[in-house]
Structure 1
Amino acid sequence: MRADARKNYDHLLAVAREVFTEQGADASLRDIARRAEVGLGTLYRHFPTREALLEALLRSSFNALAARADELQTADDSAAALMLWLRETVAFTHENRGVIAPMVSAIEDHDCALHASCVTLRAAGAALLARAQADGNARADLDGSELFDLIAALAWLREQPSHAPRSDRIFGLIADVILVRHPRPEAPNASGHTGRQPKGRS
């Protein structure tokens, strides 16, 4: 890329980041071009679609979330690792308002600029889920696609002002659905027994 083209590219990205932060991922591309003081054609030469612009803006965040999942693969508690990654991913979508809709669409659209990044993100979550399942900490009938759907649902909820106050409670309910809770062994009493009564006795 020539120096002047690179300068335009970086300037457009900086302005787009400002506009998307203010208005969300569905902000007008025309407004971005106008604020950057370039023609709409210049914007489209660098970013042919909204998704291409989002991919350029969010690539580092997608990579960081995927790397975070790899890091959490070595955590002692696979259930806690999965929930931490899930919470951090939902927080990412909340910080980038409106991005969850194009992410969900991109998963099914192989020609979309966001497709590869979103598939990588889904695979990262699926790997954490698989580890928790192997440890007996997550339900076995859940897959990576459904986990991604749950992220989308939680992200949507947090974007709705009337529902956002309940988002933490809903997260906890979803966590209870995903995870397998193991009963804690009862502590022995003074006589060395667990305190449970034998069957047939009151």
Structure 2
Amino acid sequence: MIEQARIAFAEFGVDASLDEIARRAGVASGTLYRHFPTRLDLIEAVLSEQMAQLVGLGHRLLTAEDELDALSTWLRAVLRHGLTYRGLSAAVMDSALNHEDGPVSTWHAQLFEAGAALLARARQAGVIVSDANDADVMKMIGAIAWAAQDAPDSSAQADRLFALLMNGLRHGGVHR
């Protein structure tokens, strides 16, 4: 069921029909709902492995030599993840705000921790502006994913917006 949900979410976004997901998985809708009582439960099951990978990447990049490249690599990975399923950014933000004890809130906190550590490291190295606020940067990544999700070429749109963000973060102004 999880693999079929992943495929349906990739095709139709996180608002894909749960009944269609059940049909594709070859189970009755009731079976899907017994395993995943809410849409959020199914989204969480689909995302669990990907979120663990993003958090792990953030921790590994804390030892990378180039602080700016480490930060950029991680932020880009978070952005790409946000673009995986249309509507994901909004669903994750809604869940993080309204379900404080759920997996999405835990992942949100873990992602924020990894991002904050990478941003602090880049600030300390002097490669990004000193007043780059952790929460603002993470919100901008989510906003870029949200803004680009319906663009005809969402990847190119996200890349352009991401470049603007990184140029704004770099100490000394625009580079590259």
Matched residue count: 172
Partner in structure 2 of residue 177 of structure 1: 168
User: Which of 101, 122, 128 is the equivalent residue of 1:132?
Assistant: 122
Give the drift of 1:42.
1.8
* Distance verdict in 2 for CA 1:172–1:14, change over 3 Å: closer
Show structure 1 runs of 4+ deviating over 4 A. Answer: none
Larger radius of gyration: 1
Higher RCO, 1 vs 2 (CA within 8 Å, ≥6 residues apart): 2
User: Contact (CA 8 Å) 1:68, 1:85: kept in 2 or not?
Assistant: yes
Whether 1:123 and 2:122 are equivalent positions in the alignment is no
Q: Which has the higher helix share?
A: 2
Partner in structure 2 of residue 157 of structure 1: 147
CA distance in 2: counterparts of 1:86 and 1:106, whole angstroms: 21
Partner in structure 2 of residue 4 of structure 1: none
Higher mean C-alpha displacement, 46-55 vs 102-111 = 102-111
CA distance in 2: counterparts of 1:60 and 1:13, whole angstroms: 11
- Aligned-partner SS, 1:76: coil
Structure 2 length-normalised TM: 0.86
Write the mapping of 1:28-107 to structure 2, written as runs, cut at 5 A. Answer: 28-107=17-96
Q: Over aligned residues, Cα RMSD in angstroms?
A: 2.1
- Aligned-partner SS, 1:114: helix
Higher mean C-alpha displacement, 32-41 vs 119-128 = 32-41
Structure 1 length-normalised TM: 0.76
User: Contact (CA 8 Å) 1:62, 1:117: kept in 2 or not?
Assistant: yes
- Which residue identity is paired with 1:101? A
CA distance in 2: counterparts of 1:66 and 1:39, whole angstroms: 34
* Gap runs ≥5 in structure 1: 1-11, 184-202
User: Contact (CA 8 Å) 1:52, 1:114: kept in 2 or not?
Assistant: no
